[in-house]
Amino acid sequence: MEWVAALLFGVVILVLLAGFPVALSLGGTALIFAGLGVLGGSFNEALLFGLPNRLFGIMTNEMLVAVPLFVFMGVTLERARIAEDLLETMSALFGRLRGGLGISVTLIGMLLAASTGIVGATVVTMGLLSLPTMLRRGYSPEISSGIICASGTLGQIIPPSIVLVMLGDVLTTAYQQAQLEMGILSPRTVSVGDLFAGALIPGLLLVFLYITYLLFVAAFKPNTMPAHEREPDERVSPGRILRALLPPLVLIFAVLGSILGGFATPTEAAGVGGMGALLLAIGRREINLERLREIMRSTLRISSMVFLILIGASIFSLVFRGYGGDDGVRALLEAIPGGVFGAMMVVMLIMFLLGFVLDFIEITFVVVPIVGPVLLAMGLDPVWLGIMIAINLQTSFLTPPFGFALFYLRGVAPPEVSTAQIYRGVIPFVAIQLFALLLIAVFPELVTWLPGKIYGY
């Protein structure tokens, strides 16, 4: 019945493209297929009795508690106007360099990515704050749009990333399943900390490549990124730099350091981050009761969306496996010419294309559990696979015409910036992403070295 599983997957994609809610589309379509299968005698109804245990497992999964805590941390820092202060300070510091403002925006995007991990919030915030400033200082709309979109999507890969938290949970299950299928009765595990450590060097590599490209453009196309003549009141004192940079850096090091150093689990570190962000907002006098209510509502809305999608995806994967979909996927990937390399290429291409129409949450919870066990059973490293998936999805977020980051920026960009200019601006950064993906594929040590040093992975 593998053809029914393939039909189920295709119908879900069509329903999602029609604009129906993701969680209800996943769970509802799967239950309809299961009901028809029970009536036709082609689906074992006993499998549906496993649903309560699956849902209870989601409710009691301590790792997933980190998701709402990291969301709270990110929303609080966004409302505390950290980005605004950082942008003013960094642009005053680097503005006299040709391309300095673009470099400042990239570095701020990196800091916000490490602070919030929410791509949409970062792109919108950077678009509102920095795009008007860049255009006013003579930057071309293309390069301005490209910088903002690319630096905004760094939240996908730079830890602590919500994407990596969810990938860590899914890959843990997939890795254990793959090892049991290979006859390993005491399977190893992969943790969110492993993924955080593995993502650190690739994330910094992307920042380095972005800045290198900006320096190249500033040197050979100076009219697209002119230098800024600093006004007397724009001079930056060391005290101002410390006030802008020190609080978010301390918070980032507290969260990441506690995880990588083994002092706290990701969930505990997320709690530290949430409390630290709240104290930071209080210290900056950027919080009141009404704003706190807004933060809590936003956190509840985002977290509810994530967990409802996870429940829908759990129902979908149960029905998909009930129709033998996992066996069909395994047979298909094993039949692809080129062995492991060919299978990995096909999976990466499919995920890249799905990233145009599906959010990273759906891909993480729906696609990765299907293909993950098969690829891991072929001998791929789980941390390397997780980082490759994360960067791949980050690239699809940037790619015209359907990249989510482009839609976020289009929603806040001024009318004089056309959609075509945004598309042209991100193309060089898409090429940089693909180059980074190729580097990590050729040199997997870029991902595996740091986890090995820290955890003996």
> Tens digits of per-residue pLDDT, 121-139?
678 777 877 888 888 888 8
For the cut 70, the answer to whether the pLDDT of residue 228 exceeds it is no
Rg (CA), the chain: 23
**Can you give the pLDDT at residue 236?**
67
Q: Which distant-in-sequence residues (6+ apart) come within 8 Å of 58 by Cβ?
A: 64, 307, 310, 311, 314
Tokens for 104, please give them.
Answer: 């400042």
Q: Does residue 72 contact residue 287 with C-beta atoms inside 8 Å?
A: no
Q: Does residue 71 contact residue 307 with C-beta atoms inside 8 Å?
A: no
Tokens for 424, please give them.
Answer: 């042209």
For the cut 80, the answer to whether the pLDDT of residue 417 exceeds it is yes
**What is the band of 199 on the pLDDT scale with cuts at 50, 70, 90?**
very high
**Can you give the pLDDT at residue 118?**
64
Q: How many H-runs (helices) and E-runs (strands) does the chain carry?
A: 21, 0
Q: How large a percentage of the chain has pLDDT more than 90? A: 19
The mean predicted confidence, pLDDT, of the chain is 84
Q: Which distant-in-sequence residues (6+ apart) come within 8 Å of 123 by Cβ?
A: 148, 149, 152, 153, 405, 408, 409
Q: How far is CA 228 from CA 67, 110, 145, 236, in A?
A: 40, 22, 19, 14
Q: Which of 17-21, 81-85, 116-120, 370-374 has the lowest mean pLDDT?
A: 116-120
For the cut 70, the answer to whether the pLDDT of residue 95 exceeds it is no
Q: Which distant-in-sequence residues (6+ apart) come within 8 Å of 33 by Cβ?
A: 4, 7, 8, 11, 43, 319, 323
3-state secondary structure of 4: helix
User: Any idea what the Cα angle at residue 256 is, between residues 252 and 262, rounded to 5°?
Assistant: 150
End-to-end CA distance of the chain: 39
Average pLDDT, integer, range 416-434 = 91
Largest CA distance in the chain: 80
For the cut 80, the answer to whether the pLDDT of residue 451 exceeds it is yes
pTM: 0.81
Q: Which of 46-55, 75-84, 161-170, 391-400 has the lowest mean pLDDT?
A: 75-84
User: Any idea what the Cα angle at residue 164 is, between residues 124 and 187, rounded to 5°?
Assistant: 170
**Can you give the pLDDT at residue 233?**
59
Average pLDDT, integer, range 264-279 = 87
Q: Does residue 202 contact residue 397 with C-beta atoms inside 8 Å?
A: no
Q: Which of 288-297, 298-307, 399-408 has the lowest mean pLDDT?
A: 399-408
Q: Does residue 46 contact residue 310 with C-beta atoms inside 8 Å?
A: no
